[in-house]
Chain A
């Protein structure tokens, strides 16, 4: 059973960079696509982007100028960097597996943007 676990700071200051890592266990990171999805409190889901195990990325155009994703297959981890954050970036951030739809999800981590 594939398991995903997000990690990273729960509090980020405005204008700084949000950095999260997702660790994949009990399964291979290779030959799969991995995504980041976020959900503001009480609201719907927003796909941020995805990365293939080779490093190929696709980002949501609404966030593309601020997003960078990377993958480390040796550590079975992939990461999200979101620059110049504002309060609007406050949300639960999920990592998930899937090329198009998402069959395995992490439990989510709340990131609050506040000074």
Chain B
């Protein structure tokens, strides 16, 4: 199965700053089938990005995804207070679908 490794484990930033989160796959992700989710405490994950770079419905344009092959990035251009959460990447290029271990974005 494809193992996804996210870095950093924790990212401490301030509102207004730019956040860059990384997701690296153990093998090439077929057709760049990679998604990103945001999860806040006590809530279900929320789909942000699919197909590596396509924003889901209703997702603000400060969220963007990029990358291909084995290296993918989620960028939040200007952090809002509500963006501090845990972020997960997920690959769906091959079964079983797998998730990264998460990056916690915390307020500095």
A61 to B92, CA, bound (A): 15
B-facing residues in A34-62 (Cβ within 8 Å): 43-47, 58, 60-62
Q: Which residues of B contact A60 (CB under 8 A)?
A: 95-96
1/0 contact string of B68-102 vs chain A (CB within 8 Å)? 00000000000000000000101010011111111
Q: Which residues of A contact B1 (CB under 8 A)?
A: 61
Check B35 for interface membership: any CB of A closer than 8 A. yes
Contacts between chains A and B (CB distance < 8 A), count: 50
Please pick, from B33, B35, B44, B100, the residue contacting A94 in the complex, using a CB distance under 8 A.
B44
From A11-19, A22-30, A81-89, A105-113, give the one contacting chain B.
A105-113
* Consensus secondary structure, chain A interface: loop
* Consensus secondary structure, chain B interface: loop
B99 adjacent to A108 (CB under 8 Å):
no
Question: How many residues on chain B are close to A (CB under 8 Å)?
Answer: 23
A sample of 18 cross-chain residue pairs with beta-carbon separation below 8 angstroms, ordered by A number, consists of A44-B99, A44-B100, A45-B88, A45-B99, A47-B90, A47-B99, A60-B95, A61-B1, A61-B96, A62-B96, A96-B44, A101-B35, A101-B50, A101-B90, A101-B92, A105-B44, A107-B43, A108-B44
